[in-house]
Copies of this chain bind each other. A is one copy, B any other.
């Protein structure tokens, strides 16, 4: 087995945590902001010092490559450097830094690989400044229209296209990740959930990204005065919504133990304590790796009553995502390396989305998870202990080297 360097990885983490540092110990590093450009500059500088060739494509995605000994397709790995507002020092950036550490180990330890080894930084994964998330991996894998994405504006009215041009990272379309010239894509990421920690496991061996559906459910009643309207004459949209929420909890809980579902957002109008609500909307997010289970959720939604407590009930799908399955033989290699390195781990699916799920459509792809302390992510408290980070980097390194032999 080969091993990455703990001190070197710690230095990377510490250095990158300065770019957009917040008072609370996290970062605010919105895509293409000055903080993100500082992080990109540091990344490019370190890659060039290692003798890597750095290119950017027409979405600002960065590709830093260590040459291989043969004329073969590249093995790529990476993640993103942007964060949400008051995010942490691990989501995304750890995938970039473990990939960089993997490349650095290969270079400095004089390991010769047959294939080129490329570290990728994806532009605007979070979508926190420019919606949607996973914008640039989405464009180059055909999910989103580039022109539409260039026109997306941030809160100040600046378009993604303007920000990209001003950043200096606008590159050539021909530099895009080319599936014909790529052998593999690997992405390490923090779990962003509590499972590995709760089960005292060190590595998540990803099999895919769960499918999901997301609905907005709407109850429409009549806004009347709280003090004058007899109960029998009421059409209380919050009463109807509360019954639906309880009923959905009951029904969805029975479908499958691994189904996760969340009613995360609720708004009531007019939202005044002395007025009966006439308009309540809440969201339902449901995720499972098995499309048949997700379909059962869809059936529950389709069978919602159209009227409840004299209120009209309706719903609309906000979006959905099919389950993404990662490349079986790569998953096997990750598992073999977890065992070979003496780590504990388990096969699992990702609940959140990642650039890897888009890349998986065009390339053999898999992912590696490391634990999140208390399951926190997208917050300043986000934390993965350095030993977990190193274990992840070691799995990534050995997986790259194994794939290099294929």
A positions within 8 Å CB-CB of B: 191-195, 198, 210, 212, 214, 224-231, 233, 236, 238-239, 241-243, 245-246, 249, 253, 257-268, 271-277, 282-283, 285, 287, 318, 350-352, 375, 377-378
Contact = CB atoms under 8 A, between A and B. Distances in A.
Nearest to A276: B262
B272 A226 contact: no
Contacts of A375: 224-225, 228-229, 233
Contacts of A224: 193-194, 375
A262 B277 CA distance: 9
11 contacts: A194-B224, A195-B230, A225-B377, A238-B263, A239-B245, A243-B246, A262-B273, A262-B276, A264-B271, A264-B273, A264-B274
B260 A226 contact: yes
A323 to B, nearest CB: 12
Given A239-B245, A352-B225, A274 B285 contact: yes
A86 to B, nearest CB: 12
A194 B222 CA distance: 12
- A-B pairs with lowest CB-CB distance, top 6: A193-B228, A227-B351, A226-B262, A242-B245, A273-B283, A228-B351
Quick one: which of A192, A260, A276 has the most chain B CB within 10 A?
A260
Nearest to A353: B227
Contacts of A236: 262-263
A229 B272 contact: no
A65 to B, nearest CB: 32
Nearest to A379: B223
B271 A268 contact: no
A265 B265 contact: no
Contacts of A275: 262, 264
Contacts of A277: 263-264, 266
B271 A227 contact: no
A277 B214 CA distance: 16
Contacts of A239: 245, 249, 263
B192 A228 contact: yes
A215 to B, nearest CB: 9
Contacts of A267: 271
Contacts of A265: 268, 271-273
Contacts of A259: 231
A246 B265 CA distance: 18
B287 A193 contact: no
A318 B267 CA distance: 21
Given A264-B274, A264-B275, A271-B266, A212 B228 contact: no
A226 B195 contact: no
A386 B265 CA distance: 45
A258 B192 CA distance: 50
A285 B225 contact: no
A192 B227 CA distance: 9
Nearest to A277: B264
